[in-house]
């Protein structure tokens, strides 16, 4: 990765961490108190807030659920004026934004910010040659995964199966799940997630 690209990725990580920290402090929640509902250690959360480590989408869903805020708040600026009730994102806009990094994949938010939003979408890229088997994760809500290109081995509970371009799977996220690239080229997929508690509630 070029220095300029690495610097952009680090900037995105710091911005994400700052938003998580601001949301936590606004509710006067300590790092220690956030560990139990998220299953994440205080040390990891502290590094995440400082932009010194990366979070998976599953991590972010757990944190947003624990803080009772929309998942989109970690990616959207609160002071951006509201536009029409649709969000159109051009391909060049996504290309100009640095991806977020997780264990075994990178991802770009694909969804925008709508009133009473019910879902979030991400484009995930799994590089080839991943030797470490990702950990199974669980979180609230449902997921739909549509494989755009490449080959992914996906596991839901005790069931493992291969997905090729055009394949789609829909499941309850409370089931342990994970995916990894088993092909020779990068694998890209569209992930749509509807965390049950991702919207702020009274």
Tell me how far CA of residue 1 lies from CA of 8, 37, 48, 50, 66, in angstroms. 11, 35, 21, 22, 34
Domain end, chosen from 74, 105, 137, is at 74
Q: What is the pLDDT of residues 82-109, one digit of tens each?
A: 556 788 888 888 777 788 888 778 898 8
Asked if residue 68 belongs to a domain, the reply is yes
Asked if residue 83 belongs to a domain, the reply is no
Statement to judge: residues 170 and 129 lie in one domain: yes
Statement to judge: residues 115 and 66 lie in one domain: no
Tell me how far CA of residue 64 lies from CA of 36, 39, 122, 165, in angstroms. 13, 13, 16, 31
Statement to judge: residues 11 and 60 lie in one domain: yes
Domain end, chosen from 15, 48, 74, is at 74
Strand, helix or coil for residue 93: helix
How far apart (Å, rounded) are the C-alpha atoms in residues 23 and 184?
40
How far apart (Å, rounded) are the C-alpha atoms in residues 70 and 195?
9
Q: Over 80: is that where the pLDDT of 64 sits?
A: yes
Asked if residue 200 belongs to a domain, the reply is no
What is the domain count for the chain? 2
Statement to judge: residues 187 and 128 lie in one domain: yes
Statement to judge: residues 57 and 112 lie in one domain: no
Q: What is the pLDDT of residues 160-183, one digit of tens each?
A: 999 999 999 999 999 999 999 999
Statement to judge: residues 19 and 55 lie in one domain: yes
How far apart (Å, rounded) are the C-alpha atoms in residues 75 and 80?
12
Statement to judge: residues 188 and 154 lie in one domain: yes
Domain containing 152: what range?
A: 91-194
Sheet strand arrangement including 142-149: 100-102, 105-109, 120-126, 187-194, 142-149, 168-172
Statement to judge: residues 101 and 139 lie in one domain: yes
Could you tell me if 176 and 136 are in contact, meaning their C-beta atoms sit under 8 angstroms apart?
Answer: yes
Domain end, chosen from 14, 48, 74, is at 74
Asked if residue 14 belongs to a domain, the reply is yes
For position 130, which CATH number holds? 2.60.120.10
For the segment 112-131, the average pLDDT, to the nearest whole number, is: 85
Statement to judge: residues 34 and 115 lie in one domain: no
Q: What is the pLDDT of residue 199?
A: 37
Statement to judge: residues 98 and 167 lie in one domain: yes
Q: What is the pLDDT of residue 202?
A: 31
For position 9, which CATH number holds? 1.10.260.40
User: Which residue has tokens 């702020």?
Assistant: 200
Statement to judge: residues 102 and 158 lie in one domain: yes
Statement to judge: residues 22 and 99 lie in one domain: no
The alpha helices in 39-152, defined as continuous H runs, are: 42-49, 57-67, 91-95
Q: What is the pLDDT of residue 69?
A: 85
Could you tell me if 109 and 79 are in contact, meaning their C-beta atoms sit under 8 angstroms apart?
Answer: no
Q: What is the pLDDT of residue 30?
A: 93
Confidence of residue 118 (pLDDT cuts 50, 70, 90): confident
Structure-derived torsion over alpha carbons of residues 115, 29, 15, 105, reported in degrees to the nearest 10: -80
- What is the sign of the dihedral through the CA atoms of 150, 76, 22 and 138? negative
DSSP H or E run through 89: none
């Amino acid at each position: 990765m070029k220095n300029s690209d690495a610097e952009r990725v680090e900037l995105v990580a710091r911005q994400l961490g700052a938003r998580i920290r601001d949301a936590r402090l606004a509710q006067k929640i300590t790092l220690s108190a956030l560990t139990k509902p998220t299953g994440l250690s205080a040390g990891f959360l502290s590094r995440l807030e400082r932009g010194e480590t990366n979070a998976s989408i599953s991590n972010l869903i757990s944190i947003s659920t624990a803080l009772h805020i929309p998942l989109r708040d970690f990616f959207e600026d609160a002071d951006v004026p509201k536009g029409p009730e649709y969000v159109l994102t051009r391909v060049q806009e996504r290309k100009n934004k640095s991806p977020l990094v997780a264990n075994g994949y990178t991802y770009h938010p694909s969804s925008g910010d709508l009133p009473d939003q019910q879902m979030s979408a991400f484009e995930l890229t799994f590089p080839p040659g991943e030797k470490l088997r990702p950990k199974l994760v669980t979180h609230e809500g449902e997921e739909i995964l549509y494989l755009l290109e490449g080959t992914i081995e996906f596991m839901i509970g005790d069931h493992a199966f291969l997905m090729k371009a055009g394949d789609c799977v829909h499941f309850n996220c409370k089931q342990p799940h994970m995916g990894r690239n088993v092909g020779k080229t990068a694998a890209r997929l569209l992930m749509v997630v509807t965390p049950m508690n991702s919207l702020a509630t009274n």
